[in-house]
A and B are shown apart, each in its own frame.
Chain A
Amino acid sequence: MSEQQVVRSTRPLNTAWIGGVCAGLADHMGWPVLLIRLGFVVVSAFALTGLWIYLVLWLAMPRTAAERSAPGLEANARAGMRSAPAITFSGVDLSLATALALLGIGLTWMVQVGGWGLPPALLAAGVLTGGGLGVIWWQADHVSTREVVRGSGWRRLVAPLVRHWSSVVGILVGLSALGAAVALLVVGSGLDELARTVLLLGSSVTALLVAVLPWIIRVRRTLAEARQEAMLADARADMAAHLHDSVLQTLALIQRQAGDPKKVTALARRQERELRQWLYGDAPSGGSLVEALTAELLDVEDTHGVDVELVSVGDTELTPELAAIVRASREAMVNAAKHSGAERVDVFAEADEDQVSVYIRDRGKGFDLADIDDDRMGVRASIVERVKRAGGRAIIRTAPGEGTEVRLELPR
């Protein structure tokens, strides 16, 4: 996410105990989640303030959106060809939750005994309201997108409600709790009959509205998501078409050049790499060492028709010194491609805290370092000297018949 974007805190349902508000706040502020949960419990002891804040935040914070993977991986997951990295629910730490609940009850009791609390009836009504809303909203959070999109009109609203008997029971329990809260409120109010009726009607309507609100928000949000999904699907179809074109093009080229195995291999390799990168998304991020090395090796593969394999461990931002290392790596790859006679060059790049190392290795004919002939003059100027200027060192290991390994190191 870029710096300019407003980072909204969201509720990660996979680590949630109730609605994910605490987990979301913890992610957002970088605090331990236990501290926030504790805070809510403590504040709740005073006139249930924490409970009300929690409920308001529950409404205000959207659910954390699922991350998407590369299209090829997603397609394979959809088709059941690989087990999708499903959201894993971390579950509730029961002992910790019990401890927090006991603490909350204890604190509330102390506040009540101390005389600063709410009247008992109001307190009970508040707890019932919070519990009822919690149960209903929890159901709303766990509606699957598919069910909301599938229905139409009023069915769209009701379908998720009756998805499973447990959700129906949950909603009935939630509504009963709300009803009980309203009853407590009305009975405890000590007003005359007319005022009671008005209060009953008013609070019932309010309770229903507040309970139903998340459903409406959720359904609207899901519809918006579905629209976005459709747009994405279109964009993907365009990309797929573009890719098919490029693959078809390559196949046509291969047929035309069927007589030249080297060219055919080069074409096939290039296309394979392009397609794989798009499908499985292992493209390194912008301006990094690995990205620069990848660009160079693709170019060397294309111009010299050898196979260059890059394996990297770690990555780092491309500084001017590292750019020199990359250029030296390129020279080493080109040398291997032109002079070694090997069909494959292995490149290994490792960036750790202390240094960056790049190894370029071939199993070709090698040479004697002592008598570097004219066309090897490049080695000294373009590799050894260049790396030395950047503050690193180059070590060349080779012997006739032994292959060559160029090792470039740059301390960080």
Chain B
Amino acid sequence: MSEIEPTPAAWRVVIVDDHAMFRSGVKHDIGGRVQLVGEGEDVPTAVAAILKAMPDVVLLDVHLPGGGGIEVIKQVSATEPSMKFLALSVSDAAEDVIGVIRAGARGYVTKSISADELVEAIGRVATGDAVFSPRLAGFVLDAFSGAIDVASIDEDLDRLSVREREVLRLIARGYAYKEIAKELFISIKTVETHVSSVLRKLQLSNRHQLTRWATDRKLV
């Protein structure tokens, strides 16, 4: 499944989750294929572990004592703005997912993800790409679709291109990047570029629309 990465064992990963059981489960599942170099169970220990180990990727739980995953991203980014985070959550609540992405995480997957997919996602984040679960793709489509009115289309950041929308829709339909590439007759690299660009728009677009979207869904 993950034959795309040439040296999968090389990625150095710190795992942050307040449940020891979940941490050891992940270690058991992917410990052989990535290099686990640190652990954290709340915001202070996580920040300390990350800054000490300087991993390629941080696996970050969204709900965490001391302010949540968002707080970890904020504190680490203050000194290490290039640190890459992959958010993991059981919550699936839209405002948490969108919140952690807007804080700077490069991807979001649910905790029910299979070990193979998780290793692939880590590789993708480590090489600078974005990882969207079908669920996240659905949220983003929702966020950018209903909220756009003609008056507010003055900035490129506030809308998705037709191609980006197509890619997101395919992710939401359960397609892997490889399958999307085949479907749209483009390269995997191009799919990755589109997803990264959606991620950037999600992180940078003006707050107004996302807030309004959240308000419409009674999330704020």
Contact = CB atoms under 8 A, between A and B. Distances in A.
A352 B145 contact: yes
Given A280-B92, A346-B173, A311 B63 contact: no
B68 A313 contact: no
A75 B106 CA distance: 27
A83 B95 CA distance: 11
Interface residues of A, number: 29
Given A276-B92, A280-B92, A311-B137, A80 B172 contact: no
A343 B175 CA distance: 15
Nearest to A277: B92
Contacts of A257: none
Contacts of B112: 272
A348 B138 contact: yes
Interface in A343-382: 344, 346, 348, 350, 352, 359, 361
B220 A280 contact: no
Interface string A64-76: 0001001011001
Chain B CB within 10 A, most for which of A79, A81, A85, A361: A81
Contacts of A312: 138
A311 B93 contact: no
A82 B174 contact: no
Given A314-B142, A346-B134, A82 B92 contact: no
Contact of A311 (B68, B134, B219): B134
Contacts of A272: 112
B145 to A, nearest CB: 7
B220 A82 contact: no
B92 A361 contact: no
A260 interface: no
Contacts of B62: 82
A388 B80 CA distance: 57
B64 A81 contact: yes
B135 A311 contact: yes
Contacts of A81: 18, 63-68
B174 A83 contact: no
Interface residues of B, number: 35
Interface string B154-177: 000000000000000100111100
B135 A83 contact: no
Contacts of B65: 79-81
Contacts of A314: 142, 145-146
Given A280-B93, A311-B135, A311-B138, A85 B219 contact: yes
Contacts, number: 85
Interface string B181-220: 0000000000000000000000000000000000000111
A348 B70 contact: no
A117 to B, nearest CB: 43
A282 interface: yes
Chain A CB within 10 A, most for which of B71, B90, B91, B92: B91
Nearest to B69: A82
A348 B134 contact: yes
B63 A309 contact: no
Chain B CB within 10 A, most for which of A80, A309, A348, A361: A348
Given A81-B63, A346-B174, A280 B91 contact: yes
B219 A82 contact: no
A218 to B, nearest CB: 25
Contacts of B175: 361
B120 interface: no
Interface of A: 67, 70, 72-73, 76, 79-83, 85, 272, 276, 280-282, 309, 311-314, 344, 346, 348, 350, 352, 359, 361, 405
Interface of B: 18, 62-68, 70-71, 90-96, 99, 112, 134-135, 137-138, 141-142, 145-146, 169, 172-175, 218-220
24 contacts: A72-B91, A76-B63, A80-B68, A81-B63, A81-B66, A82-B63, A82-B67, A82-B99, A83-B67, A83-B70, A83-B71, A83-B99, A85-B219, A272-B112, A309-B134, A311-B134, A311-B138, A314-B142, A314-B146, A346-B134, A350-B141, A359-B173, A361-B173, A361-B174
Q: In the A-B complex, list the 9 residue pairs whose CB atoms are closest, starting with the nearest.
A: A346-B174, A82-B68, A311-B138, A348-B173, A81-B63, A311-B134, A313-B141, A311-B172, A280-B93
